[in-house]
């Protein structure tokens, strides 16, 4: 029984990040804030959302999201405000627009390039003739014959 309780405590740990004093009175706004917070990266913890992080910066970002929602901003306006302030790195799922196209396409392009180079290399090797061994001279044949007779 103790093990189950400990396991449940570890599974519920991310829910502890949002402190009770951060929760909005309006359940609709709080749900929107939670949804937005799950898509924003904690800049201290890296691959953890601000909804799950206990870092001070994550708390500040959660409060900023709630502040903007209470001010009447739409979800897109809140995200745009935070991205303008902290950069696109704050998004857990970056957009596929503008300069990001280069980043999104670089991986597959490099894979195709490496495959093409590999195929070209293998084809060039298969077209090459195997090096021919030079035939033995008469002197070498005589020497080989003497060695074999011994």
CATH code assigned at 71: 1.10.8.640
Whether 67 and 12 map to the same domain: the answer is yes
Whether 121 and 74 map to the same domain: the answer is no
**Structure token digits, residue 145:** 């014959």
Whole-model pTM? 0.59
Query: What pLDDT band is residue 79 in, cutting at 50, 70 and 90?
Result: very high
Whether 82 and 118 map to the same domain: the answer is no
Largest CA distance in the chain: 105
Whether 65 and 134 map to the same domain: the answer is no
Q: Would you state the pLDDT for residue 14?
A: 47
Whether 70 and 141 map to the same domain: the answer is no
Whether 41 and 85 map to the same domain: the answer is yes
Half-sphere exposure of 79 (CA within 13 A, CB side): 19
- What angle, 0 to 180 degrees and rounded to 10, lies between the N-to-C axes of helices 56-70 and 75-86? 140
Whether 78 maps to a domain, the answer reads: yes
Number of domains in the chain: 2
Candidate ranges 9-13, 34-38, 113-117; pick with highest mean pLDDT: 113-117
Whether pLDDT at 1 is above 80: no
Whether 74 and 115 map to the same domain: the answer is no
Whether 95 maps to a domain, the answer reads: no
Query: What pLDDT band is residue 54 in, cutting at 50, 70 and 90?
Result: confident
Whether pLDDT at 20 is above 80: no
Query: What is the spatial distance between Cα 114 and Cα 92, in angstroms, rounded to a whole number?
Result: 29
Whether 67 and 112 map to the same domain: the answer is no
Q: Average per-residue pLDDT in the chain?
A: 84
Query: What is the spatial distance between Cα 142 and Cα 135, in angstroms, rounded to a whole number?
Result: 13
Write out the residue range of the structural domain in which residue 72 sits. 2-90
Identify how many contiguous H helices and E strands the chain contains and give both numbers: 6, 0
Please compute the mean of the pLDDT values over residues 10-27 and round it to a whole number.
Answer: 64
Whether 118 and 139 map to the same domain: the answer is yes
């Amino acid at each position: 029984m103790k093990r189950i309780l400990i396991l449940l405590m570890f599974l519920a740990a991310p829910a502890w990040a949002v402190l009770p004093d951060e929760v909005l009175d309006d359940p609709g706004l709080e749900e929107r804030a939670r949804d937005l917070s799950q898509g924003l990266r904690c800049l201290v913890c890296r691959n953890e959302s601000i909804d799950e992080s206990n870092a001070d910066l994550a708390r500040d970002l959660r409060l900023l999201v709630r502040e903007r929602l209470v001010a009447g901003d739409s979800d897109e306006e809140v995200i745009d405000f935070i991205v303008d302030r902290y950069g696109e790195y704050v998004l857990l799922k970056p957009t596929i627009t503008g300069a990001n196209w280069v980043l999104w396409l670089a991986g597959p392009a490099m894979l195709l390039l490496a495959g093409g180079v590999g195929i070209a290399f293998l084809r060039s090797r298969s077209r090459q003739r195997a090096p021919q061994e030079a035939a033995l001279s008469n002197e070498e044949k005589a020497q080989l014959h003497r060695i074999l007779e011994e």
